Amino acid sequence: MKVKFAHQLRAIAALSVVFYHYWGIFFSPAVRAIIGVPASFVPVKPGYTQLVMSPGQGGLLYGVFGVGVFFLISGFVIPISLRNISTGAFLVRRFFRIYPVYWFCLLISLSMYFICSWYWHTPLSDRISLKYLLETLPLLHSVTGIPSLDFVCWSLAVEVKFYVIFALVLLVGGRSAHKVLALSIGFLILCCLAAFLAAHGSNPASMLSLLTSDMKFMTFMFLGCLFYYVLYDELSVPAALGYGAIIYVLFLMITSSYEGSIGGPLARNYTYALVLFSVCYVLRERFRDNRVLDFVADISFPLYLLHSTIGYVVMSILIDQGVWFTLAWVISLGLVLLVAFGVHRYVEVPVNAFGKKVSNLAGRSPKPVQRDTLSLEGSP
């Protein structure tokens, strides 16, 4: 079956996040201070960047929207990745798909901190310490409230939790779509209650609050699973709509515990992502090869991990050297695409192939599948 629509949506999601960071977050003094840019450096902000951070009531927040699309794609892909292999083999493959590339990109991000500190003659960030690195390497730092070194891997931490939770659901409920979804909804209901208690507790920064905060993102990954079950005829459309309505309501309830209202920015932009994904799913047979989108989709994982630290450092240096902002972000984007391609070709592809070999020790080898399916087995 063709799943090209989801593969190309990955490119759109990645570019949405990139532009959100380059045209918006880059101008935040707090972010520049973290990487080592002095407070005296204040770049001129072009008018067109206002559409990214201040889009008006109900407007599109590119980065939030893009991550919402990523979570839907991940939810759609994970059951595909589990076809014909054991749960153990699945977890082994997920490890090799996520961690080696993440660790390698983390080294590149670290080098950008050193370059920025050297250029601006500023102290290294407090994040450059052995203790901090050891806490972030397992991608479990979000439960203790530690921010990401690269500003984006918090979403990988969410995905890792989802892999474990979904694997446990499969172990308890088997491969039946109805059992999996019933158990998932039961789990999300408990999360909804926990989110309410955490939001109204005396310590909003508690581990319970941080854990349940991730659940608002996981609901969208469970929504993505519904599209898989319908696509592979494991669930009828009416049944999927019923389950989807319940999960979406739980998403709104969990999100409202943290945003203070049902229609907050995250809820709105994730809904936009759901609408786009749904439309593309319905029109999936009309998607054709697109060299640009397919290329960006192929390198989207390292692109996602590297664009922020490389972009923030390179743009600040270029602008300080007299380069116009628009040209600075174009040059930075080109550099990031080049580096991401190198990481994809020489790190991501080899370790994924190695992970498949190792996973065969944990479960039966998968049957041959079409390239369209394989192209989706990545992470953001």
Q: What is the DSSP string of 137-149?
A: TTS-GGGGTPPPS
Quote the pLDDT of residue 187.
86
Note if the pTM is more than 0.85: yes
206 against 214, higher pLDDT = 214
Query: Picking from 42-51, 54-63, 348-357, which range would have the lowest pLDDT averaged per residue?
Result: 54-63
Residue-level length of the chain? 380
Return the percent helix, strand and coil in the chain, to nearest 5. Answer: 75, 0, 25
Query: CA-CA distance, 6 to 71, in Å (whole number)?
Result: 11
pLDDT tens by residue, 319-361: 999 999 999 999 999 999 999 999 999 999 999 999 999 988 7
pLDDT band at 363, cuts 50/70/90?
A: low
Q: Which residue has better confidence, 204 or 116?
A: 116
Residue 354: what pLDDT? Answer: 95
**Which of 49-53, 342-346, 369-373 has the highest average model confidence (pLDDT)?**
342-346
Q: Does the pLDDT value for residue 378 go beyond 60?
A: no
Residue 116: is its pLDDT beyond 90? Answer: yes
pLDDT greater than 50 at residue 374: no
**Residue 140: band (very low, low, confident or very high) from pLDDT cuts 50, 70, 90:** confident
Among residues 348, 353, 346, 266, the alpha carbon closest in space to that of 300 is found at: 348
Mean pLDDT of the region 227-236 = 94
Q: What is the mean pLDDT of the chain?
A: 87
pLDDT of residue 377: 47
Per residue in 255-292, pLDDT (tens digit) is 887 777 777 888 999 999 999 999 999 999 999 999 99
Residue 65 banded pLDDT, cuts 50, 70, 90? very high
Whether pLDDT at 380 is above 60: no
Look at residue 373 in the predicted model and tell me its pLDDT.
41
- Chain-centroid distance of CA 207 in Å reads 21
**Do the Cβ atoms of 239 and 246 come closer than 8 Å?**
no
Closest CA relative to residue 103, chosen from 171, 47, 42, 156: 156
pLDDT digits (tens, 9 = 90+) for 179-201: 999 999 998 888 878 777 766 66
